[in-house]
Structures are given as structure tokens and as C-alpha cells.
Amino acid sequence: ARAGKNRVHVDFGGDDRAAEVKRLVELGAKEVAEHEVPGLAWTVLVDPEGNEFCVSAGVH
């Protein structure tokens, strides 16, 4: 169980965010939330140990 916030928050970027999120979920990550602001979209995930990380891509 997660006791507190991550000491480090990792962000990954790429051109095909949906495909990368799908691949990571297949590897054991869980999708937590999706966010979008003008010019940027990102998905928050957690790994099997509860560490948060994001996958982002510029919005075209």
C-alpha cells in the first residue's frame, strides 16, 4: 500500500499516447486519470507498486 507521495514523478512523452497507455496497462499499470489543456494531453497511471507517472503528448 502506498504510504505517501512519490519522491520522484516521471513523465513519458510520445506521439501516440493512447497506444503507449494501452501497452503500459497490458504490462500491469492502472490508468488513474486523463487531463487535457490547450496544446497538451496526459494520462496519469500507477505502477503495480502504486507509484504515479504520466504519459503525455502534444495535441495536434
42-54 per-position pLDDT tens digit: 999 999 999 999 9
- The residues that bridge with 55 in the sheet, in sequence order, are 12, 43
Task: Specify the number of domains making up the chain.
Answer: 1
Q: Is the pLDDT of residue 3 over 60?
A: no
Whether residue 11 is contained in a domain is answered as no
Q: How far apart are CA 29 and CA 50, in angstroms?
A: 9
Give domain status of residue 43, yes or no: yes
Q: Which helix (H) or strand (E) holds 19?
A: helix 17-26
Confidence check: pLDDT of 9 > 80 = yes
Residue 31, strand partner residues? 45
Where residue 6 falls among pLDDT bands split at 50, 70, 90?
Answer: low
Residue 10 located in a structural domain: no
Mean of pLDDT values over 25-37: 97
| 9 within some domain | no
Domain that holds residue 26: 17-58
Residue 5 falls inside a structural domain: no
